[in-house]
């Protein structure tokens, strides 16, 4: 039979084991922090009914959806939309989950979910058709205190602090402030607000003059004064806690919704501080809008200070009603998402993430085939002590076995020769420290555990 070419479709990230370990460590760090803040895990099926996933049908989303059909369904040659599809995010499945299990959940319901989602993106470098999303959301029943909005930045801080990928800033805004501000200028239509914001987004690329000209040009027809106010407003950034409060103060009073937005931002800032987030790591940024048709209050973005080109690595916000397509209950919520696959890819491109060391910590070498039972016993001792261990079963020259360990990223190599057997000891070579030592067999597990725990604590 002719060979089939072994290949994957474009837009997926498939890793070699040591990179997979690095990626898994990143996901573990995210998960650990989500759990620390009291979020509970859920998983939903990758395949859902199309009518459930695509309640807001049509539009960009539906163009990107992957539909799913069994052979039977294909053979029926249905000309209607297939019954099943792959999830394209974790928000729609969450809405469905909460509506379906409403009576079995306690509210506020804090959930985290870290699963893959699927989008039929155009094949292009850095665009993924399959990627992990790592989401947290707090869902209230009928209402949800603004205080929950303040906990989210504390989670973001904790995650990225532990990921150790350099200094970062959590940017805060509130859609009510933005809405109130635009309404104050007479731009009450959400669609027009969105258009203005889209122009404002071009500030970095096209410069102030270009954007001012567009806003005052024929299409928009804003006064020069209004355009200036918008440009001044969206360029507001704070530096430190006191400055953030001062800049909010300086905005003065406005409409009811404006004042409410300011009050909310102020409360969020105060609580973030009480939660111990250093003031170097959060700031207000009045240009942040996020999905205009979805978010209604606090909105978040997060950027790496030294790598602005990467863009926001963690975003989200407050929404009015999660699951209005599935239930009459009002379910307000607040949440964020980390696109972990893209983030990992970008961090590797930026050389901020290295290939990991192996999950295997010890290689038990084979000096003498006749001693194989002793090597196996030693491996069992290490494994029962919780230390991931590989035994050389095939033999071969000791030098080659050492080289294998080095290339495979295994830190410790254990040698048990006739000398050591006579003395009841083992020789351990530490390939990282380029050091070697001899320990009594009974102390091997304890010694290695101490070394490994120290290495973990020091992140080396």
Q: Tell me which residues in 270-299 interact with a second copy (CB under 8 A).
A: 271, 274-276
Binding to a second copy (CB under 8 A) within 129-168 occurs at 129-130, 145, 147-148, 151, 154, 158
- CB nearer to a second copy: pick between 100 and 183: 100
The yes or no reply on residue 40 touching a second copy (CB under 8 A) is yes
Q: How far is the CB of 366 from a second copy (least distance, A)?
A: 10
Judged by CB under 8 A, which stretch of 92-100, 252-260, 291-299, 305-313 contacts a second copy? 92-100
Binding to a second copy (CB under 8 A) within 344-403 occurs at 358-360, 372-373, 376-377, 379-380, 383-384, 386-391, 393-394
The yes or no reply on residue 321 touching a second copy (CB under 8 A) is no
Residue of 26, 87, 88, 97 that binds a second copy (CB under 8 A): 97
Q: At what angle do helices 256-274 and 241-250 cross, to 10 degrees?
A: 170
Tokens representing 362 are: 């010890």
Burial 352-381 (b: 16+ CB within 10 A, else e): bbeebbbebbbbbbbbeeebeebbeebbeb
Total Cβ atoms within 10 A of residue 90: 26
- CB nearer to a second copy: pick between 63 and 459: 63
CB 108 within 8 A of CB 138: yes
The yes or no reply on residue 17 touching a second copy (CB under 8 A) is yes
CA–CA dist 132, 114 (Å, integer): 7
- For residue 116, report the phi and psi dihedrals to the nearest 5 degrees: -85, 145
Q: How far is the CB of 56 from a second copy (least distance, A)?
A: 9
Total Cβ atoms within 10 A of residue 439: 17
- CB nearer to a second copy: pick between 255 and 371: 371
- CB nearer to a second copy: pick between 214 and 358: 358
The yes or no reply on residue 268 touching a second copy (CB under 8 A) is no
- CB nearer to a second copy: pick between 206 and 403: 403
- Residues sharing a CB contact under 8 Å with residue 350, sequence separation 6 or more, in sequence order: 307, 310
Binding to a second copy (CB under 8 A) within 45-64 occurs at 45-49, 51-52, 55, 62-64
- For residue 429, report the phi and psi dihedrals to the nearest 5 degrees: -105, 125
3-state secondary structure of 415: strand
The yes or no reply on residue 194 touching a second copy (CB under 8 A) is no
CB 445 within 8 A of CB 388: no
Q: How far is the CB of 60 from a second copy (least distance, A)?
A: 11
């Amino acid at each position: 039979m002719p060979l089939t070419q072994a290949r994957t479709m474009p837009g997926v990230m498939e890793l070699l084991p040591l990179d997979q370990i690095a990626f898994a460590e990143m996901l573990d760090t995210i998960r650990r922090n989500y759990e620390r803040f009291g979020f509970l895990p859920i998983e939903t099926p990758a395949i859902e009914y199309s009518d459930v996933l695509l309640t807001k049908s049509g539009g960009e989303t539906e163009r990107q959806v992957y539909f799913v059909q069994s052979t039977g369904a294909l053979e029926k040659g249905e000309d209607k939309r297939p019954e099943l599809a792959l999830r394209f995010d974790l928000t729609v499945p969450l809405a469905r989950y909460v509506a379906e299990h409403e009576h079995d959940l306690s509210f506020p319901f804090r959930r985290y979910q870290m699963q893959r989602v699927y989008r039929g993106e155009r094949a292009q470098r850095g665009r993924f058709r399959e990627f992990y999303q790592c989401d947290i959301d707090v869902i209230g029943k009928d209402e949800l205190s603004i205080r929950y909005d303040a906990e989210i930045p504390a989670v973001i801080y904790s995650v990225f602090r532990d990921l150790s990928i350099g200094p970062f800033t959590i940017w805060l805004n509130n859609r009510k402030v933005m809405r109130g501000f635009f309404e104050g200028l007479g731009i009450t239509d959400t669609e027009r607000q969105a258009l203005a914001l889209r122009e404002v987004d071009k500030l970095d690329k096209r410069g102030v003059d270009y954007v001012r000209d567009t806003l005052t040009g024929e299409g928009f027809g804003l006064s020069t004064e209004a355009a200036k106010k918008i440009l001044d407003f969206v360029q507001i950034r704070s530096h430190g806690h006191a400055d953030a409060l001062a800049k909010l103060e300086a905005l003065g009073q406005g409409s009811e919704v404006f004042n409410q937005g300011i009050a909310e931002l102020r409360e969020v800032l105060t609580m973030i501080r009480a939660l111990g987030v250093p003031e170097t790591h959060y700031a207000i940024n009045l240009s942040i809008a996020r999905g205009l048709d979805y978010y209604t209050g606090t909105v978040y973005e997060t950027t790496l200070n030294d790598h602005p080109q990467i863009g926001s690595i963690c975003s989200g916000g407050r929404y009015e009603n999660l699951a209005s397509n599935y239930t009459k209950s009002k379910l307000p919520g607040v949440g964020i998402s980390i696109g972990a696959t893209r983030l990992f890819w970008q961090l590797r491109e930026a050389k901020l993430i290295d290939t990991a060391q192996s999950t295997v910590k010890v290689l038990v070498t084979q000096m003498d085939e006749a001693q194989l039972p002793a090597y196996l016993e030693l491996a069992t001792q290490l494994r029962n002590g919780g230390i991931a261990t590989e035994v050389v079963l095939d033999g071969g020259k000791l030098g080659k076995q050492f080289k294998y360990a080095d290339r495979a990223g295994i830190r410790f190599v254990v040698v048990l020769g006739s000398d050591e057997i006579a003395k009841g000891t083992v020789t351990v070579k530490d390939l990282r420290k380029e050091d070697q030592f001899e320990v009594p067999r009974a102390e091997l597990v304890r010694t290695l555990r101490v070394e490994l725990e120290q290495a973990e604590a020091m992140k080396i």
